[in-house]
Chains A and B, each alone.
Chain A
């Protein structure tokens, strides 16, 4: 299903579209497109309207290392962190946001919903 023009979504940006009755976020992460259901598995907030950020990645012994810059979306409601590409929740890998396959044809971004 056609979602948007690729040129509308430069690296770091995202758009949110209604596709077949579903709210879907289309993200451009460093040139690669990914689609996430705009519904957080935690409490149903608008996941895709949250900030795209990095975070302090797992470390040991009180070291802080900022990583995954631009690869995470932090839910607009409670701030849970999700990897945009996989939908994996960082704090608990058993929790996943729903992802959809994305296909690019010329300047068109299609999402398989």
Chain B
């Protein structure tokens, strides 16, 4: 089993000090921090989880942040579910996308990546890393992908789903070009809904955390439409994107709509050669968690079949977050389990079988 969304964390942003270049270490030591001492520089989303957003049984004995302690993560996740691999996605690092200062954002991303490479990836051969980049600094993001993207234990580039513009916009293409060049897929993880990323949902800000959390799949919709319409997959034919924690069941409906509208107005995007749904089938992957679970799971199967879920879905638990999916109780079509729980991720991330 391969878990494609595992949140490893620091308990204090001071963990990054050894990895920050001096000009920006100065900011972290002496500058303002949004949540006081130990907090990570980012603009916080305006919805505060009324219970905190962690599983309450995942706090390490030292009182640190859930996900900060390897031994506990190993016990509660790696060993308990006998994972072959866990794709680490970090905790706060993707929130660099919310900062107005792209230079600082990229410096923090570089430090977080070096911290992951130095302090997590060597701990266990089951751990694989994501390379966080700051999309508001496309040049810095592309440089970071070329700096570290060929590390043998780094398996994807990672950005937040919150963004200033939808990701098909040509301003971002240098990032995707670098990812295609080093041969890494790009994960788009739920988050980054704050600061300069001011468009979390379509009709103005929702009010409550749960209300918002259920709607944030809208960001996934926007990115899928934009990546396809702007011809990102014509430009970078080997590039694949993974929507992480952005929901699943909405995708077929959006693709049906995109196909219909594109058929009428293809003249707006004459660089496309295929239907939107055909690009999606080859280039978009989705992690399962939090998989929509209707009262009757049979209502979900036709939707998953419409997006060839057997090939496009990747299992993820989201450990140690409050909406964790337990692989032993997750309901999926039984004949899909081998592919969704392991083989799709193995192919996408190029992970060798482990004894």
Measured CB to CB, the residues of A under 8 A from B are: 42, 55-65, 78-81, 90-92
Tell me what chain B mostly uses at the interface: helix, strand, loop, or mixed: helix
Min CB distance B206 to A, Å, is: 33
Asked whether A56 lies within 8 Å of B268 as measured between CB atoms, the reply is yes
Q: How far is the CA of A92 from the CA of B273 in the complex (A)?
A: 9
A to B CB contacts below 8 Å, 17 in the list: A55-B267, A56-B268, A57-B270, A58-B270, A58-B271, A59-B271, A60-B234, A61-B235, A63-B271, A64-B270, A81-B266, A90-B266, A91-B262, A91-B263, A91-B275, A92-B263, A92-B275
Alpha-carbon gap, A28 to B271, bound state (A): 30
Contact B270 A56 (CB under 8 A): yes
Instruction: List B residues at the A interface (Cβ < 8 Å).
Output: 170, 231, 234-235, 262-268, 270-271, 273, 275
Distance A57 CA – B269 CA, assembled complex (angstroms) = 9
A61 CB contacts on chain B under 8 angstroms: 235, 271
A65 to B270 alpha-carbon distance, docked (Å)? 9
Structural contact, A79 and B270, CB atoms closer than 8 A: no
Given contacts A57-B270, A62-B170, 18 further A-B contacts (CB under 8 A): A55-B266, A55-B267, A55-B270, A56-B270, A59-B270, A59-B271, A60-B234, A61-B235, A63-B271, A64-B270, A80-B263, A80-B264, A81-B266, A90-B266, A91-B262, A91-B263, A91-B266, A92-B263
A58 to B274, CA, bound (A): 11
- Judge whether A60 and B271 touch: CB under 8 Å: yes
With a cutoff of 8 Å between Cβ atoms, the chain A residues found around residue B267 in the complex are 55-56, 81
Q: Once the chains are docked, how many angstroms separate the CA of A11 from the CA of B213?
A: 59
Q: How far, in whole Å, are A60 and B235 apart by their CA atoms in the complex?
A: 9
- A60 CA to B271 CA in the complex, in Å? 5
B266 to chain A, nearest CB (A): 5
Residues of A within 8 A of B271 (CB): 58-63
A83 to B232, CA, bound (A): 28
Residues of A within 8 A of B268 (CB): 56
Q: How far is the CA of A57 from the CA of B267 in the complex (A)?
A: 7
- A79 partner, pick from B231, B234, B264, B275, beta carbons under 8 A: B264
Q: Which chain A residue shows the least CB distance to B231?
A: A62
Evaluate contact between A78 and B264: CB separation under 8 angstroms: yes
Minimum distance in angstroms from A89 CB to a CB of chain B: 8
**Closest 7 CB pairs between A and B?**
A56-B267, A56-B270, A79-B264, A55-B267, A91-B266, A91-B263, A59-B270
Q: How far is the CB of A111 from chain B (nearest CB, A)?
A: 28
**Which residues from chain B contact A80 at a C-beta distance below 8 Å?**
263-264
Give Cα distance in the complex from A78 to B265, angstroms: 9
How near does chain B come to A23, taking the closest CB pair, in angstroms? 22
* C-alpha gap A102/B63 in the complex (Å): 84
Q: Which B residues touch A62, using CB under 8 A? A: 170, 231, 271
Q: How far in angstroms is the closest Cβ of chain B from A71?
A: 14
- In the complex formed, the residue of B with least CB distance to A64 is B270
Q: Which residue of A is nearest B262, CB measured?
A: A91
List of B residues within 8 angstroms of A79 by Cβ = 264-265
Inter-chain CA distance A61–B270, complex, in Å, is: 9
How far is A92 from B274 in the complex, measured between Cα atoms in Å? 8
Smallest CB gap from A42: residue in B: B263
A60, A62, A78, A91: which has the most chain B beta carbons within 10 Å? Answer: A91
Complex CA distance for A55 and B264, rounded to whole angstroms:
12
* Complex CA–CA separation, A90 to B264 (angstroms): 10
Q: Output the residue of B262, B264, B266, B267 with the most chain A CB within 10 A.
A: B267
